[in-house]
Amino acid sequence: MSRAPGSSFGFIGLGAMGAGMAGCLLRRGYPLKVFAREARAVQALVDQGATAGTGPADVGRGSAIVFLSLPDDAAVHEVLFADGGLVHGLAAGSTVVDTSTIAAASARGFAAALAARGIGFLDAPVSGGQQGAAEGVLSCMVGGETASVDACREALGAFCKSVLHVGGVGAGQVVKACNQVAVAGALLGVADALALAEAEGVDPAPMREALLGGAARSFSLEKHAPRIAAGQFTPGFRAALMRKDLRLALQGAQATGTVLPTAALAERLLDELCEGGRADWDWAALALQVRALSGKALPEHREPRA
């Protein structure tokens, strides 16, 4: 790693979230080298002006900042440290910005290992979904050193409307876990309300409109309730990923002796949903499992309705 960090940027992981974030960077004029296992995902970004990298190390060479958007801790570790990983291409003084949702303990471990090589690390998980990523209006909760956060803030602003420094390395993941716990609780409440309205023979549309005008207003009531009522679960955020996120939150809570009853219920219902062949449905299908508790049959089909 003899080269000093350049003015170029890298992005690894071009799934539903990563592709949107990388596209925002390109539209804002950032020179970007990208890599993903799916050749089609890479080509889609190349068509927008990116350069294709041959692997993580290649993406790292000459990059001042490399963004990651990966499914779990193991994937982040592999991209960073495996043969051909980022550490074999990044120069001292560069920074890895990990937008993945992983365990806070993993983030701290990655940061320590990279720091030994003179490479910075920020855990910067995001919230706002696939649409928010594509439109550049995500919210980002960042853990890391202040100087590194300040150096990366402008680039993060290419795809985030809010970039909030919440503490040291790992704090971003803790706050993201808090976010997922809170939104899971909100969706459970909306699912309960819809189930009650249905049982009492009340049209869910005016019920929702009434609730939106009062204290029950929430993102879940605004965005998820209509698709639940319509049975439309084409994924914006897959049930399997929300289950993973809640498991991370529950593992962290267990380590501190903290009980999270609502999160535990949501995780159990999501697990039943996923094990029933609906892991790739949008996580709002959690509401189906709430209905099933009252003896309502689940849809027979296994593909989410568009």
Q: What is the pLDDT of residue 4?
A: 39
Q: Of 113, 145, 167, at which residue does a domain stop? A: 167
Q: What is the pLDDT of residue 208?
A: 97
In a domain, 2, yes or no: no
Q: What is the pLDDT of residue 26?
A: 98
State the Cα torsion 126-186-229-213 to the nearest 10°: -100
H/E/C letters for each residue in 28-91? CCCCEEEECCCHHHHHHHHCCCCEECCCHHHHHCCEEEEEECCCCHHHHHHHHHCCCCHHHCCC
CATH of the domain at 261: 1.10.1040.10
Active site residues: 176
Residues of the chain with pLDDT under 50: 1-5
**Model confidence, pTM:** 0.90
Helix boundaries (H) for 200-283? 204-212, 219, 225-230, 239-255, 261-273
Does residue 25 sit in the same domain as residue 116?
yes
CATH of the domain at 96: 3.40.50.720
At position 239, the amino acid (one-letter code) is A
In a domain, 225, yes or no: yes
**What residue numbers bound the domain in which 123 lies?**
8-167
